[in-house]
Amino acid sequence: MPIYPYVCMCGWDGELYAPIFSRDGQVCPRCQQPLMRQLSVPAPHQVRGRVVQGGGPDRFTADMLGVPLKELPAGLKSHEPQG
């Protein structure tokens, strides 16, 4: 049975065992209010790819979106000075 992290409005937070089908129906052990599941960081994984000369955050974003670097929208570009 998986373990899920939960948080309550009363301040309680912790992990509980819960079946997948009832993971959203858990109640706080302290105040009996419905619990909210916390978002958790997935297990570390390896990002595979190749190193490209002139790479950087903008190149990475463009590659993840599958668009050429020159077509990357301005709102997604980093604001680091080029130099």
Q: Output the tens digit of pLDDT for each of the chain's 83 residues.
A: 688 889 999 999 998 888 878 878 889 999 999 998 887 666 665 556 666 666 677 888 888 888 888 888 888 887 665 55
Domain presence at residue 63: no
Domain presence at residue 10: yes
Rounded-to-integer distance, Cα 64 and Cα 80, Å: 19
Domain presence at residue 22: yes
φ and ψ at residue 40, rounded to 5 degrees: -120, 155
Domain presence at residue 45: no
Selection from 44, 27, 36, 33 nearest residue 6 by Cα: 36
Rounded-to-integer distance, Cα 38 and Cα 58, Å: 30
**Structural domain span for residue 15:** 3-37
Domain presence at residue 19: yes
Rounded-to-integer distance, Cα 32 and Cα 50, Å: 51
pTM of the model: 0.45
Q: How many domains, the chain?
A: 1
